[in-house]
Amino acid sequence: MLFDSHAHVDDRRFSGEVEEVLKRALEQDVTNILNVGADMESSARAVMLSEEYNMVYASVGIHPHDAKDAKNADYYTLAEWTNQNKVVAIGEIGLDYYHNHSPKEIQQEVFIRQLDVARQTKMPFIIHDRDAHKDILDIIKKEAKGMPGVFHCFSGSVEMAREVIKMGYYISIAGPVTFSNANKLKEVAKSIPLERLLIETDCPYLTPHPHRGTRNEPAYVRLVAEEIAGLKEIKLEKLASVTTSNTKELFGIV
């Protein structure tokens, strides 16, 4: 059993195909998917997908790209959504200083306000961090003490991974770990204790080898799992069962 802990099946690249995509996932033993929202519209679609499909759970949040469009009422709506049974997290939230689609100060403000929603609703959070390692760590140390969360599509160093784990967070690894030149990420994956590891596709993005250049989908989380099991020299079944139970534990899924 595999759990794709971060997917965007609501993306328009899947429109009209969701049923088949989920079926192909099941054929690869991917029995659960967390569909992650990135703005208010996609969060609403994530909630709908979780209501429609048994195997799908939802996370709601505003990505740093879209921070500039966040309105006061949105934080209330996010909190409201968490009252639904299959909404299990706030995310993806964080900082992206690589693209800077929203000004840094706005990204920080929207990130902090959503951490506040997570605290009030007792939800774990999903972090998006691109070229913003220091500010992310500073903010969560200050604003999210003791709250559970995961760093999704981790791109930091072995040292940062160690620090994040020491702070009590999970780390999720995506498709780039399968790339032949991803030496740093392979080292990071090897270094993460199994009980702190999650796996994901982040589909439709970050398609793993050997499907690079095509649309990613949840079925391919198996390729991520196989790669990491190989790096850690453990059986795929072991990696699958531990990462699945980690995901369920973090997101309170029984």
Residue 202 binding Ni ion, by CB under 5 A: yes
Q: How far is the CB of 53 from Ni ion (least distance, A)?
A: 19
In angstroms, the CA 96 to CA 47 distance is 24
Q: Which amino acid belongs to residue 67? A: A
**Selected range binding Ni ion among 72-80, 98-106, 196-204, 219-227, rule: CB under 5 A:** 196-204
Q: Is 125 exposed, middle or buried (0-12, 13-18, 19+ CB in 10 A)?
A: buried
Nearer to Ni ion, 165 or 203 (CB): 203
Please give the size of the binding site for Ni ion, defined by CB under 5 A: 1
In this complex, which beta carbon is closest to Ni ion, that of residue 42 or of residue 108?
42
Q: Tell whether residue 129 is a contact of Ni ion (CB under 5 A).
A: no
* DSSP for 197-231, written as a single string: EEE---TTSSPPTTSTTS---GGGHHHHHHHHHHH
Nearest residue (CB) to Ni ion, 5 versus 178: 5
Nearer of residues 202 and 227 to Ni ion, judged by Cβ: 202
Q: Which stretch binds Ni ion (CB under 5 A): 25-33, 79-87, 195-203, 228-236?
A: 195-203
State the DSSP code for 89: E
- Which helix (H) or strand (E) is 106 found in, with range? helix 104-121
Measured between alpha carbons, how far is residue 171 from residues 70, 168, 174, 177 in Å?
27, 10, 10, 13
User: In whole angstroms, how close is the CB of 61 to Ni ion at the nearest point?
Assistant: 10
217 binds Ni ion (CB under 5 A): no
| Nearest Cα residue to 155 out of 194, 202, 219, 222 | 202
Per-residue binder mask for Ni ion (CB under 5 A), 147-186, x = binder: ----------------------------------------
Beta carbon of residue 233, minimum distance to Ni ion (angstroms, whole number): 29
Query: C-alpha dihedral over 101, 106, 112, 113, to 10 degrees?
Result: -100
Q: Restricting to residues 71-100, name those near Ni ion by CB under 5 A.
A: none
Neighbours of 205 (CB within 10 A): 15
Nearer to Ni ion, 130 or 162 (CB): 130
Shortest distance (Å) from residue 219 CB to Ni ion: 17
**Least Å from the CB of residue 135 to Ni ion:** 19
Residue closest to Ni ion, measured at CB = 202
Q: Where are the beta strands (DSSP E) in the chain?
A: 2-7, 30-36, 56-60, 87-96, 125-130, 149-151, 170-173, 197-199
Stretches 26-34, 53-61, 134-142, 194-202: which one binds Ni ion (CB under 5 A)? 194-202
User: Considering beta carbons, is residue 131 or 159 the nearer one to Ni ion?
Assistant: 131
Neighbours of 71 (CB within 10 A): 10
39 or 202: CB nearest Ni ion? 202
The site for Ni ion (CB under 5 A) is made up of 202
